[in-house]
Amino acid sequence: MLADDPAANLIEIQDLHYSRGDKKIFSGLDMNIPRGKVTAILGPSGTGKTTLLNLIVGQLNPDQGAVLFDGRIVCPCSRHHLYEVRRQIGVLFQEGALLTNLSVFENVAFPLREHTDLPEQLIRQIVLMKLQAVGLRTAWQHMPSQLSGGMSRRVALARALVMDPKLIVYDEPFVGLDPISMGVIVRLIRQTNDVLGITSIVVTHDVEQTRKLADLSYLISGKKVAACGTPDELRNDQSALVRQFMQGRADGPVPFHHPGPDYAEQLRTMARS
């Protein structure tokens, strides 16, 4: 597979360790993101998917190991290099918020105004082009409160695209969408990737949409990569963990309860305090 050829990978994550306080989130995670492809990162809630995205874009520093973007280490690195890396990444956050006091047009124009000194005429052309690409050019004057959830996400995509990134990162892009809006977003993610020749990472719980969209999928569990393959390979994987996740079963190796003391012990401790 592409994965072992460095030139074929836009991102390489090597032996990544990361903790929050005394809680270990990653312990020896290795992952390659192939150039030009859509890669899905799947995993149960709380396994660290959003944290991993933050490590990839350099918002967080690994405790050990490295994240390489285009062959160069993201963190630690100079502020200048980090800025250069971030300019090449478009992000659709899980909380996905548009700036509520700005119009659709101004939301999309925002990164251009922050990072460039392009003349107004050019900003106007770029913003309208990106809005056209997501089918919302005519909604340019709307305020975010006038948009549906699916429309907001498309505006956020236009905003993520406005700096012509090499990589787009989507955190849970399907949550809360009706089936039609979901289909629109799946198609947009795929088309954006292929038409612009960029690389995409989609973090999601949604196994069904992943099958339609991704070239490669990683399943994260137990602080590292638990499985990797095409969506079909993952679907046919026989390990209990992969089957539990792919088939959405409540019972299996992934526990329902957040780790901690047992119930009786907690009741005793709370009664004493």
Partner whose binding site includes residue 46, from ligand ATP, Mg ion, none (CB under 5 to 8 Å by kind): ligand ATP
* Shortest distance (Å) from residue 149 CB to Mg ion: 17
The smaller minimum CB distance to ligand ATP, of residues 43 and 165, is found at 43
Partner whose binding site includes residue 47, from ligand ATP, Mg ion, none (CB under 5 to 8 Å by kind): ligand ATP
For 235, other C-beta atoms within 10 Å of its C-beta total 16
* Shortest distance (Å) from residue 227 CB to ligand ATP: 16
Q: What is the CA radius of gyration of the chain?
A: 20
Beta bridge pairs of residue 92: 170
Partner whose binding site includes residue 244, from Mg ion, ligand ATP, none (CB under 5 to 8 Å by kind): none
Cα separation of 115 and 119, whole Å?
A: 12
Q: How far is CA 81 from the centre of its chain?
A: 21
The smaller minimum CB distance to Mg ion, of residues 140 and 172, is found at 172
* Shortest distance (Å) from residue 170 CB to ligand ATP: 12
The smaller minimum CB distance to ligand ATP, of residues 111 and 253, is found at 253
Nearest 5 degrees, angle CA 172-CA 152-CA 178? 65
Beta bridge pairs of residue 199: 167
The smaller minimum CB distance to ligand ATP, of residues 93 and 110, is found at 93
* Shortest distance (Å) from residue 98 CB to ligand ATP: 20
Cα separation of 12 and 199, whole Å?
A: 13
Cα separation of 188 and 160, whole Å?
A: 13
Residues that bind Mg ion (CB under 5 A): 49-50, 94
Partner whose binding site includes residue 67, from Mg ion, ligand ATP, none (CB under 5 to 8 Å by kind): none
* Shortest distance (Å) from residue 219 CB to Mg ion: 15
Partner whose binding site includes residue 20, from ligand ATP, Mg ion, none (CB under 5 to 8 Å by kind): ligand ATP
How many alpha carbons fall within 13 Å on the CB side of residue 37?
Answer: 21
Residues that bind ligand ATP (CB under 6 A): 20, 25, 43, 45-51, 94
The smaller minimum CB distance to Mg ion, of residues 50 and 230, is found at 50
Which H helix or E strand runs over 218?
Answer: strand 216-221
The smaller minimum CB distance to ligand ATP, of residues 158 and 182, is found at 182
**Beta strands across the sheet bearing 38-42:** 89-92, 167-171, 199-204, 38-42, 216-221, 224-229
Partner whose binding site includes residue 43, from Mg ion, ligand ATP, none (CB under 5 to 8 Å by kind): ligand ATP
